[in-house]
Amino acid sequence: MQLWSNKIALGSALVASTLAPLGFSANAAPAQVSIAYCNGEDYAINILRSSDPAQPSAPLTIRIYSRANRMTFLNTEARREPNPEGYNYSNLRGEDQWTLFVPNSTSLACTLSQNGTVIDRGTVTRREPPSGD
The number of C-alpha atoms within 13 Å of 75 and in the hemisphere containing its C-beta is 6
Q: Answer whether 91's CB lies under 8 Å from 73's CB.
A: no
Please write the tens of the pLDDT for every residue from 77-105: 999 999 999 999 999 998 999 999 999 99
Please write the tens of the pLDDT for every residue from 17-60: 444 444 444 555 568 899 999 999 999 999 999 876 566 678 99
Residue 43 neighbours by CB under 8 Å, 6+ apart: 64, 65, 66, 67, 112, 119, 120, 122
On the 0-12 / 13-18 / 19+ scale of CB atoms within 10 A, 65 is middle
Pairing of strands 32-40, 43-50: antiparallel
- Counting every residue, how long is the chain? 133
> Where are the domains positioned within the chain?
32-126
